[in-house]
Amino acid sequence: MLLASSSCNDWLDVNHDPNALEEIPDAKVLLPAAQVGIGNNLMGWDFGFGGAFWVEYWTQSYTASQFKSLTEYLPQEFNTAYQSLMREPMNDLKRIKTMSAEDENKGYYFVAEALSIFTWQIITDVWGDMPYFEALKVDEGILHPKQDTGAAIYEDLMLRINALLETDLSGSSISPESDFIFEGDLDQWYRFANSLKLKLMIRLSETPGYNNSSVLSFIQNADLLTTSAKISGSVWNDAMEGKRHPMREFQAGGANYFSTNVIAAKNFIDYLSVNDDPRLSKLFNGTKGAFYGDFDSKEDSDGNGINDANEAYATVIFSGNMDLMIMSDWEVNFYIAEVYARAAQNAQAKEFYDAGVIASLSQHGISDTSIIEDGGYAAWTNGTVEQNIKQIAMQKWVANANYQHIESFLERNRTKYPSVNDIDIEANRQFAFNNFPVGDLTISVKGRALLNGNLPASPLYPTSYLFRNNNAPSQKANVGEKVWWNMKIGK
C-alpha cells in the first residue's frame, strides 16, 4: 500500500509547467528584463503619453479621440505603469537581491538595489502616499500591504541609498551583456547611485526640511554621472513586433497612434519655433501647434482660411533607434546647476547649466550651441535665484521632450515652470491665437472646468492597488491632488 501510494504520487507529480522554469542558476538572467522593464514604463503608455500631454508637449488631434480624456483632465490612474513596474522590474530586482545578498560579489546586489531605490522614488513621486514598507512581501504572507506616507518613503530611501553607497565594490563585477545600461561598468553604477541620491535630495527642494547647503556639499564631494544612464537605441528592432522602443510600438506595426492621434501642442512648439531652437526639427515634422485640449473648435483661429480642425499640425518624430533614458546627463547637470543657483554661486550654476543644454543638444546630434551663446535665447542670464531656477527648468522642459516625459511632469510640479497662463482660449480663439503666451502652459480648453482652472498634479491611485488591497485608502477626488513635496505656490 505504501509502495502504491508513493508510485501514485510520482505519477501525479506532473504539475510543473513545461514552458517555465522553477529555478534559475544565476541572478544575471533577470537583470536585463528589470532594466528594460523600467525603461519601457518611463516612456511607455502611461508615463510616456501622460507626461507629454500633461506638460503640453503634445495634444490630442481633432479627428481622433484616444487621448481625449488625458487632455481633458479626466480621471487617470496610470494603472498599466504601476502594475507593470511592480510585478515586472520591482519583483525581479527583489529576486536578484535575494539571490545575491550573500554573494561576495556585490555587483548584482548593488545594481538591483540602486534600480530599486530609483523606481521607488518614481512611484512615490507619481502617486504620492503608497504602500512601501510592506510591499514585495508575498513570501511573508503579506497580500494587503499598508499605505505609507511619501515622507516616510523618502526617509527610508535616503537611508537605503546611504547604506548602498557604503558598499565596497572593489573585486565585484557584473557581466557586461546582462547590463544594458552601463555594460558592466560598476564605477558608472556607483556614480548612478550618487546621482540618484542627489535626485532624492533636490526633489524635496520645496519642503521645509530641505537644506541646500548639505546638498551643495554633497555634490562638491561626490562622483556624479557624466554620461547618461540609458538603454541604447541599438537594442531595438523596429521592424519586429514587441522589439521596439516603447513609443515606437504605438506607431509602427499598424498601431499608428502618432500619425492619427498626437499633434504638437502650441505651448511647446511655439516656444521652440519663436526661439529658433534647433531641437524643433528633431522633435516634430512641421511647426504648427494646436491649442491644448481643444477638440470641438469650428473656428479658424489663425484666420488662414482653414478651420482649426483641418489644419496640418506638426506631428511627433520618434525614430526606430531612439535611446531610452533612465537618468540623463542633462538631468544631473541641471540638478547641480540648480543647487549652485540656489547657493547663489552663479558661475558654477552657469557651467553646469550650459553642460546640461549641450548634453541635450548632443543627444539630438546637434553640435551648434549658439542658443546658449550670447544672444541665444537660452544663454545664461545671471538673474535672481528664482529667475535662474526658471531658466534651468525651462531648458529641462525642452531637453526632456521625447526622452523623459514623466520626469518633465514631476519637475514641473516641483518648480512650477513653465508657468501657467490663465487665458480662456475658447472665449476668443482669435485673440488667444494672436496673443498666445509663448513659453507658458495653458489650461486645457475642454478641461478648464474640471480642476477649477488647475493643472493635473498626480494620477489617481491605481485601481489594481485600490480594489485588491483591504488596507487601501479611499480614492483621490481627481487628478489635481498634489503629492507631499509639491509645495511651491502656484498652479
Partner 1 sequence: MGIGAIVAQTQVRGTVVDETGEPVIGATIQIKGTGRGTTTDLDGNFQLSAPEDGVLIISFVGYRPQEIPVTASPRIVLVEDTELLDEVVVTALGLTREKKTLGYGVTSISGDEISSAQTINPMQALSGKVAGLDVSSAANPGGTQNIAIRGFSSFGNNQPLYVVDGVPITNAQNRSGSNLNSQADFGSGINALNPNDIENITVLKGSAASALYGSRAAQGVIMITTKSGRNTNGELLVTYDGSVTVQQVGRIPTEQTMFGQGWSGDRALDENGNWGAPFDGKDRVWGNIVDNSQQIKPYVYLKNRIRDFYDFGIGYNNSVSATGGNDNTQFHASISQNFIDGPIPTDDDSYKRYTIASSGSHKQNKFTISTSINFSSERNEASPTGQDNSIYRSLNEIATDISIVDLKDLNNKFNNVDNYFTPYGMNPYHILNIKEAVQTKNKFFGKLQLDYDILDNLKLTYRFGGDYEATIADTHFDAIVFTPGSPNDGSSNASPGSYDQVRRQRVQMNHDLILNYNANFGDFSFNAIAGANTNEQSYNALGGEITSIDIPGFYDFTNSLSPSTANQASSLYRLWGMYLNADLGFRDYLYLTLTGRNDYSSTLPLGKNSYFYPGAMISFLATDFFNSRGINTGIVDFAKLRFSFGRTGKDAGLYAVYDRLVASELTNPGYPSVDNLSFPLGGVNAYTVSNTAGNINLKPELTDELEVGLDINLFKHRVGLELSYYNKMTNGLISTLPIDPTTGYTAQVTNLGDVRNSGVEIMANFVPVRTRDFEWNISYNFTKNYNKVERLDVPEVFLGGFGGMGIYAVEGEPIGQFKSQKALKTVIDGVEHTIVDGNGNPQPTPNEEFLGKDINEKYRMGLTNSFTFKGLTLSGTFDFRYGGSIYSYTKDYMHWVGSGPETIYNDRNPFIIPNSVVDNGDGTYSENTTPVDPTALHTFYSNGGFNYTDFAVIDRSYLKLRNLSLAYELPSSIAGKLGVRAISASVTASNILLWTPAENMYIDPEVTTFGNNIEAKFGEFGTNPPYQTYVFGLNISF
Which DSSP category does 13 fall into? Answer: -
Q: Can residue 207 be called a binding residue for partner 1 (CB under 8 A)?
A: no
The interface region with partner 1, picked from 82-90, 182-190, 210-218, 337-345 by CB under 8 A, is 82-90
Q: Can residue 3 be called a binding residue for partner 1 (CB under 8 A)?
A: no
Site for partner 1 in 319-378 (CB under 8 A): none
Alpha carbon separation from 369 to 90, 228, 357, 364, 374 (Å, rounded): 39, 19, 8, 12, 10
Q: Compute the least distance from the CB of residue 338 to partner 1, in Å.
A: 32
Q: Compute the least distance from the CB of residue 222 to partner 1, in Å.
A: 31
The answer to whether residues 52 and 405 touch, using CB atoms and an 8 Å cutoff, is yes
Q: Can residue 464 be called a binding residue for partner 1 (CB under 8 A)?
A: yes
Q: What does the DSSP assignment read for 449-488? A: TTTTTPPP-SPPPPHHHHTT-TT--PPPSSTTPPPTT--S
Q: Can residue 256 be called a binding residue for partner 1 (CB under 8 A)?
A: yes
Q: Can residue 32 be called a binding residue for partner 1 (CB under 8 A)?
A: yes
User: Which CB, 176 or 490, lies closer to partner 1?
Assistant: 176
Q: Can residue 286 be called a binding residue for partner 1 (CB under 8 A)?
A: no
Q: What is the length of the chain? A: 491
Tell me which of 476, 483, 485, 486 binds partner 1, using CB under 8 A. 476
Q: Can residue 184 be called a binding residue for partner 1 (CB under 8 A)?
A: no
* Residue showing cell 528664482: 386
User: Which CB, 32 or 376, lies closer to partner 1?
Assistant: 32
User: Which CB, 27 or 357, lies closer to partner 1?
Assistant: 27
Angle at 105 between CA 104 and CA 106, to 5 degrees: 100
User: Which CB, 291 or 340, lies closer to partner 1?
Assistant: 291
String of contacts with partner 1 for each residue 208-237, x by CB under 8 A = ------------------------x-xxxx
Which runs of E-coded beta strand occur in 245-309? 262-264, 284-285
Spell out the residues 6+ positions from residue 140 whose beta carbon is closer than 8 angstroms to its own: none
CA–CA dist 78, 35 (Å, integer): 20
The answer to whether residues 486 and 457 touch, using CB atoms and an 8 Å cutoff, is yes
The answer to whether residues 51 and 408 touch, using CB atoms and an 8 Å cutoff, is yes
The interface region with partner 1, picked from 14-22, 161-169, 221-229, 388-396 by CB under 8 A, is 14-22
In the chain, the amino acid numbered 314 is A
Tell me which of 1, 9, 104, 208 binds partner 1, using CB under 8 A. 9
Q: Compute the least distance from the CB of residue 412 to partner 1, in Å.
A: 23
Tell me which of 149, 167, 207, 260 binds partner 1, using CB under 8 A. 260
Q: Can residue 296 be called a binding residue for partner 1 (CB under 8 A)?
A: yes
Q: Can residue 80 be called a binding residue for partner 1 (CB under 8 A)?
A: yes
Which runs of E-coded beta strand occur in 233-355? 262-264, 284-285, 315-316, 324-327
User: Which CB, 65 or 435, lies closer to partner 1?
Assistant: 65
Q: Can residue 292 be called a binding residue for partner 1 (CB under 8 A)?
A: no
Tell me which of 1, 2, 3, 12 binds partner 1, using CB under 8 A. 12
Q: Compute the least distance from the CB of residue 289 to partner 1, in Å.
A: 19
User: Which CB, 260 or 348, lies closer to partner 1?
Assistant: 260
Q: How many other CB atoms are there within 10 angstroms of residue 330's CB atom?
A: 28
Site for partner 1 in 57-76 (CB under 8 A): 63-65, 68, 74-75
Which DSSP category does 386 fall into? Answer: H
CA–CA dist 178, 27 (Å, integer): 10
String of contacts with partner 1 for each residue 86-105, x by CB under 8 A = xxx-xxx-xx----------
Site for partner 1 in 395-454 (CB under 8 A): 446, 448-450, 452
Q: Compute the least distance from the CB of residue 409 to partner 1, in Å.
A: 19
In the chain, the amino acid numbered 403 is Y
Q: Can residue 29 be called a binding residue for partner 1 (CB under 8 A)?
A: yes
Tell me which of 43, 44, 60, 429 binds partner 1, using CB under 8 A. 44
Number of residues that bind partner 1 (CB under 8 A): 105
The interface region with partner 1, picked from 27-35, 337-345, 369-377, 389-397 by CB under 8 A, is 27-35
Q: Can residue 259 be called a binding residue for partner 1 (CB under 8 A)?
A: yes
Tell me which of 17, 102, 104, 374 binds partner 1, using CB under 8 A. 17
Tell me which of 1, 13, 168, 374 binds partner 1, using CB under 8 A. 13
Site for partner 1 in 118-157 (CB under 8 A): 130-131, 135-138, 142-145
Strands 441-442, 420-421: parallel, antiparallel or unpaired by DSSP? Answer: parallel
Q: How many other CB atoms are there within 10 angstroms of residue 74's CB atom?
A: 14
CA–CA dist 83, 245 (Å, integer): 19
| Residue 410 cell numbers, joined | 514631476
Give Cα 325 to chain centroid, integer Å. Answer: 9
Q: Compute the least distance from the CB of residue 444 to partner 1, in Å.
A: 11
The set of long-range contacts for 30-33, using a CB threshold of 8 Å and a minimum separation of 24, is: 30/92, 30/93, 30/95, 30/96, 31/92, 31/96, 31/108, 31/111, 31/112, 31/174, 31/178, 31/179, 32/178, 32/179, 32/180, 33/88, 33/89, 33/92
Looking at 364-471, list the stretches that DSSP marks H as alpha helix, in order from N- to C-terminal side.
385-400, 405-415, 429-434, 463-466
Q: Can residue 240 be called a binding residue for partner 1 (CB under 8 A)?
A: yes
Q: Can residue 264 be called a binding residue for partner 1 (CB under 8 A)?
A: no
CA–CA dist 207, 195 (Å, integer): 20
